[in-house]
Structure 1
Amino acid sequence: MSDSPPGPSRPPASSLGDSIVADWDGSGDELPPPEWGRPRGPRRAATVWLFAVLISAMAAANAWLAGGMEHEAFLAWATVFTAISFQALPFLVFGVALSAALTAFVPASFYRRFIPRNPMAAVPVAGLSGAVLPGCECASVPIAGGLIKRGIAPAAALTFLLAAPAINPVVLVATAVAFPGRPEVWVARLLASLGAAVVVGWIWARLGKTDWLRPPRNSHAPDATKAEVFRDSMVHDLIHAGGFLVVGAIAAATLNVAVPREWVNGVGDLPVVGVLVLAVLAILLSICSEADAFVAASLNAFSPTAQLAFMVVGPMVDLKLIALQAGTFGWGFVRRFVPLTLAAALVFTFLIGGLLL
């Protein structure tokens, strides 16, 4: 017989969320570790130097090809690129600032007060909370890890991870601005993204296993101040999200100018193929969710449902998000979570796009 003192009985862990949080006592309401999903100092410096080299190369090319840059095709490319970048930049900066503030100044206990302990009930609550607590996908992974660490059921935390970057107010306003006079587009994005996030959360709550998800480790420096966390989050997310925005704008401008129009029209005229093509493009480009609506709006050779797929899939499944998830929760988690998320995103894209667009 055990000599341990008697204590309150605890029901056996029957789900992934229960098994991870079974021994959680409510203490340690700390900030998510600032290191989660963020590169170390040398890598950040390398990113800055890479952009410096790129800018220098562009300046040299400008001096060398000054005459060639007056060509009609290049002027059209520059117009599309500039329009996408400058329209999206204010939303990008505002979204990154909000995300950094949430990471630095909002304690995990704030979320815990509103999210039920039961995973099945917590999933839709967590999904809806993404509509009022904005954050880009760069911050959603460490925030979700912090919520799991502090006792939130993993299914609910993962639902928030998927919903917050896709349906927060900054993203929805940016979508409305990118598609003026078409409110059905941002409504479709809201419904498709929220539906996919909630369904993924429910499936994970029902079928997820403990060994599929590596619990995040609390490894942040104990003397880190909230101001330092805010500054580091802001600098990191702005550099990386800005870089992805530039890459996305370049790709969209190139697609609009360099690719023969008949090729694009040929793909765009095929409803299912067009949706799949833009879904793959969203995964590869890894554009920040505060900016992807402007890129999607520029891809007007594709159907509205295909444009919706670009905006629904991107914030849930892209290359940078997969890397962040693997670093936080492990590759075993990614192998199961990413295909499930992609399938749900595509199903809801076809469903909501067919009904509203």
Structure 2
Amino acid sequence: MRTSAPVPLGLLLVLGALGLVVAGPEVFAIGIGSAPALQTWSTVFVAIVLQALPYLALGVVVGAVVTVLVPDRALRAVVPANPTAAVPVAAVAGAALPGCECGSVPLAARLVDRGVRPSAALAFMLSSPAVNPVVLVATAVAFPGQPRMVLARAVSSLVVATVVGWLWSRLGRPLPVRRRSHHHDGGVLGVVTHDLLHAGGFLVVGAACAATLDVAVPPTWVGAVAGVPVLSVVVLGLLAVVLAVCSEADAFVVASLTAFSDTAKLAFLVVGPAIDVKLAAMQAGTFGTPVAARLGPLTFVVAIATTLAVGTAIL
């Protein structure tokens, strides 16, 4: 007896969000009367999804083309043999090759399999989803008239990728690949479908959480956290870890948190593409739990420290 395949949760979330976007916030007016909180929630949710979805789709398509059509040897050809120089070069190469977080981990595993130094593969993995052209354009749109935010994001993420790569090299830690990824076995269309449903689901969750924070958390609480510079940076960094919003859409989510400083928002943009719950799970499955247990906290600490330094200098 044949049983139908379960519908992916990401597909249900994306379809639900698209339905709400098409219907508009007014759909909540039916049955809720004059409930202003729900109307505000729906307005914020629709605005975030509507702004972010085109850039998410563009990033997924471009990343899929790069993942499938650009051979791994293209990166190996430009990475120097010198281990110290290889890390920043790999970080810059990652910025030039757009891809989402979903593809960065298996791509790093393939690079290690094919002889790229682990520290350089890590630098590429951390920079690729954080500072590629699609992400920077999306950040500029989410923060209009604030080019310093775009610059701060690019500089911070490149510094994080480079420092983590160098530290990993100094620690002498390997990157044992536990299993091969078949992320691009379905060709460009297969990668687009996988990444759009996966990342789209996290976008919906992130937008919903941001809208909920906007209407449910008392302004005095938000103000108390946002008013403490270091605490607000750590809190938004932890929020980025939990929400796991795709890098093509995260700027639109954090831009809605108007009570927080630009430096705190920068923490969300820097931490999220480097380490979040889905990346930690993927790293554990690909490189092993011991590697993920060391890499996650290391990346988070470096990202927070870098955000504070760059935010102070640029923002």
Tell me how far apart the structure 1 counterparts of residues 16 and 71 of structure 2 sit (CA, whole Å): 39
Mapping 1:204-353, distance limit 5 Å: 204-210=168-174, 213-218=175-180, 228-353=186-311
Tell me how far apart the structure 2 counterparts of residues 303 and 64 of structure 1 sit (CA, whole Å): 31
The change in CA–CA distance for 1:270 and 1:133 in structure 2 (over 3 A counts) is same
Partner residue in 2 for 1:29: none
The change in CA–CA distance for 1:235 and 1:220 in structure 2 (over 3 A counts) is closer
Offset of residue 243 of structure 1: 0.5
1:178-215 CA-to-partner distances (Å, cap 9, x unmatched) read: 000011101111111111110000111121233xx322
Tell me how far apart the structure 1 counterparts of residues 10 and 122 of structure 2 sit (CA, whole Å): 31
Offset of residue 233 of structure 1: 1.3
Query: In percent, how many aligned pairs have the same letter?
Result: 52
Tell me how far apart the structure 1 counterparts of residues 28 and 153 of structure 2 sit (CA, whole Å): 44
1:226-263 CA-to-partner distances (Å, cap 9, x unmatched) read: xx332221111100100000000001111111211111
Partner residue in 2 for 1:154: 118
Partner residue in 2 for 1:199: 163
Give the AA of the match of 2:156. A
Give the AA of the match of 1:134. P
Match of 2:61, SS state, is helix
Give the AA of the match of 2:167. I
Match of 1:113, SS state, is helix
Tell me how far apart the structure 2 counterparts of residues 165 and 197 of structure 1 sit (CA, whole Å): 11
Tell me how far apart the structure 2 counterparts of residues 141 and 131 of structure 1 sit (CA, whole Å): 15
The change in CA–CA distance for 1:296 and 1:219 in structure 2 (over 3 A counts) is closer
Offset of residue 93 of structure 1: 0.3
The change in CA–CA distance for 1:63 and 1:161 in structure 2 (over 3 A counts) is closer
Unaligned runs of 5+ in 2: none
Unaligned runs of 5+ in 1: 1-40
Answer yes or no: is 1:120 the counterpart of 2:81: no
Q: Which runs of 4+ in 1 moved over 6 A?
A: 52-55, 62-65
The change in CA–CA distance for 1:276 and 1:105 in structure 2 (over 3 A counts) is same
Tell me how far apart the structure 1 counterparts of residues 10 and 206 of structure 2 sit (CA, whole Å): 18
Tell me how far apart the structure 1 counterparts of residues 229 and 181 of structure 2 sit (CA, whole Å): 47
TM-score (structure 1 length as normaliser): 0.80
Offset of residue 100 of structure 1: 1.2
Tell me how far apart the structure 2 counterparts of residues 307 and 63 of structure 1 sit (CA, whole Å): 31
TM-score (structure 2 length as normaliser): 0.91
More displaced 10-residue stretch of structure 1: 280-289 or 269-278:
269-278
Mapping 1:27-176, distance limit 5 Å: 45-47=7-9, 50-51=12-13, 66-68=30-32, 70-176=34-140
Offset of residue 71 of structure 1: 2.3
Tell me how far apart the structure 2 counterparts of residues 283 and 218 of structure 1 sit (CA, whole Å): 25
Offset of residue 217 of structure 1: 4.1
Contact 1:149 1:215 in 2 (8 A): yes
How many residues are treated as equivalent by the alignment? 307
Say which one has the larger Rg.
1
Match of 1:315, SS state, is helix
Contact 1:69 1:75 in 2 (8 A): no
Tell me how far apart the structure 2 counterparts of residues 287 and 64 of structure 1 sit (CA, whole Å): 25
Contact 2:41 2:215 in 1 (8 A): yes
Match of 2:127, SS state, is helix
Contact 1:192 1:349 in 2 (8 A): yes
Tell me how far apart the structure 1 counterparts of residues 304 and 145 of structure 2 sit (CA, whole Å): 25
Q: Which structure is higher in helix share?
A: 2
Partner residue in 2 for 1:31: none
